[in-house]
Amino acid sequence: MLVVKSLPVMAASMSLSFFFLEMTIGPIWAVPMDTTPKHVGSASGLVNAGSAIAGIFSPIVFRFVVDRMGSWTLPFAGSLGLLALGIVMTFFMRPDIRLE
What pLDDT does 15 receive? Answer: 92
Q: What is the DSSP letter of 38?
A: G
What pLDDT does 22 receive? Answer: 85
Q: Count CB neighbours of 22 within 10 A.
A: 9
Say if residues 34 and 95 touch (Cβ distance below 8 Å): yes
What pLDDT does 99 receive? Answer: 65
Say if residues 31 and 93 touch (Cβ distance below 8 Å): yes
pLDDT band at residue 57, thresholds of 50, 70 and 90? very high
CA distance 80 to 82: 5
Helices (H), 23-94: 25-35, 40-69, 73-90
Q: Decide: pTM greater than 0.85.
A: no
What pLDDT does 100 receive? Answer: 67
